[in-house]
Amino acid sequence: MTYSAPVADLALSLSAAGHDALRERFFPELDASTVAAVLDAAAVFVDEQVAPLNRSGDRQGARLTSDGVVLADGFAAAYQAFVAGGWNSLAAPEAHGGQGLTRGLASALSEMLAGANLSFSLCPMLTAGAIEALSLLGNERQKTLVLPKLVSGEWTGAMCLTEPQAGTDLAALTCRAEPDGPGGYRLTGQKIFITFGDHDATDNICHMVLARLPDAPAGVRGISLFLASKHLIGADGSLGERNSFSVVSLEHKLGIHGSPTCVMAYDGCAAELVGEPHKGLAAMFVMMNAARLQVGVQGVGVAEAARQLALGYARDRRQGATVLGSGDGPIFDHPDVRRNLMLITAKTRAARGICLMTAVLADLAEQAEGEEAAQAAARQMLLVPIAKAWSTDVGVEAASLGLQVHGGMGFIEETGAAQLYRDARITPIYEGTNGVQAIDLIGRKLRLDEGAAMRALIAEMAQADAPGLAEGLSALSAATEWALAHPGADALAGATAYLQLAGDVIGGWALAREAQLAGSEDCATLARFYNGQVLSGAAGLAAKVMQGAGDLTAWSGD
């Protein structure tokens, strides 16, 4: 299995997403040559040190020993090289030791990591969520002693939310936090599905744990967020004795074998409050929203890896008489094989465009002022569930189509196509299933300010010089107005179709912008192909949205 970071495609997509205008206004030290140098250096690191561990990490996996979790061979050393190269701190705040570069660049790096080795990429992704939370909500001690270590990557972070009885429904969580007297807390309970909850790549791991205080009200309004460190942190920042939480077991999973998914037990472990009591849900969403975008980026990374693998195989493999070439060429010259490859390529680029657009908007919302910042924030909020769900669906589809291009050889583990499919399948599930993202989009994000953000986006897309986009925009506009007029079960019944429709159309817009910017026939061809193969189904998706919940209500399940 080979992977080569798609530097040129990432650079084009960044520019089309508005990254050039953003950096010129708000990051003047980040000129075009610096962006190119960062992308090139990241590609060298990822291709040489991370990608070679993907196959071996899948085969060996992480393992639980008496001393804790041991990562697959090479993972810890690669992580240390990642930290030494400054990659963990790329977009973190300068005030806490970060480089203060753009989220767009950080997302480009995240895509490279995910494409090269999805299991490896999960560790820095979880740390980034902890950095976001402590940057916004941490107290002075946490910002002084903990945050710089997370930013540098010397320590890693883990999000500890889910419990056996409380997955999406966090109102059901029972992990307890008891005051210890001196101002700290003691946590007791169990968490499951904790990615990189323990490992041997760093000396310390900071768990961000949701738990309930003794006086907590029922439901999600009674959740608080706590920081529990693997080793106790002294007043001078030094590490002390081992805290009282441990790994009960590692999950046996379909894919991402190189990433340890831990069942954690907290046995009265020392912890400190992050933010205000009973405000943990809002704190969780600070971490979750950052993670959701990066999961979408992971979907793009896997899709790109599948594209490269399938394209390489199709250009080498000869099977049967072909019609698009000389008649005895590779399977690339079979129409259906080439159609699959074009669909993978077009959707991968569309998903990349959506994710980088969302990252640029996050920076714009933070850097701009007044109405401009508010509009950027509103559009970013609208796009996050689309970036997460649509892009991860694309990742699974691309991995599946890539396996299909390989034929029977794709079903054999040695080709690597099967691993990509197994690894990709988790991305539509974690950080909120894609069904939850669809509900969030149509039930909440769309309705903020009575649909103003989506209507503004549709109006802007309508100004694009992309004739093939018109049919999709008409369908999206009709579905949007119907959904706004039909709250409740009727809208929720069409939530997944609405998110797919929105992703299809916005992805087509992203491709059109890239084609216009690049001025190349290949980009224009892909945009036309996407319009014919994807946007031609927009009216059908709109019909699904507007079908309502009547049949769902009537069906008994028999």
Instruction: Dig out the tokens for 76 from the structure.
Output: 């810890």
Residue (of 89, 222, 226) closest to 159 by Cα position: 226
Tokens 């999973």 belong to residue: 253
Give the end-to-end CA distance of the chain in Å, rounded to a whole number: 45
CA dihedral 43, 46, 51, 53 (to 10 degrees): 170
Active site residue 431: yes
Pairing verdict, β 155-160 and 204-212: parallel
Alpha-carbon distance 501 to 281, whole Å? Answer: 29
Tell me, what amino acid is at 411?
F
Write the burial class of residue 255 (CB in 10 Å: 0-12 exposed, 13-18 middle, 19+ buried). buried
Distances 469 to 441, 474, 522, 534, 536 between C-alpha atoms, Å: 22, 9, 18, 10, 9
Inter-residue contact 509 to 482 (CB < 8 Å): no
Would you state the structure tokens that stand for residue 453, as one six-digit string? 């953000």
**Pairing between strand 239-242 and 245-250?**
unpaired
Following CA atoms 4, 9, 11, 14 in sequence, which dihedral angle do they give, to the nearest 10 degrees?
A: -120
* Closest of 495, 520, 514 to residue 437, by C-alpha: 495
Cβ–Cβ contacts within 10 Å for residue 249, how many? 12
| Cβ atoms 126, 41 nearer than 8 A | no
User: Residue 521: in which H helix or E strand, if any?
Assistant: helix 521-533
CA distance 401 to 339: 10
Q: Is 181 exposed, middle or buried (0-12, 13-18, 19+ CB in 10 A)?
A: exposed
Reduce the DSSP state of residue 512 to 3 states and report it.
Answer: helix
Cα separation, 426 vs 299, whole angstroms: 10
Contact 125, 119 (CB under 8 A): no
Catalytic residue among 272, 304, 431, 514: 431
What is the Cα 18 distance to its own chain's centre?
20
Give Cα 503 distance to the centre of its chain: 15
Give the DSSP H/E element, type plus range, for residue 233: strand 231-233
Rg of the chain in Å (alpha carbons): 23
Q: Cite the active site residues.
A: 431
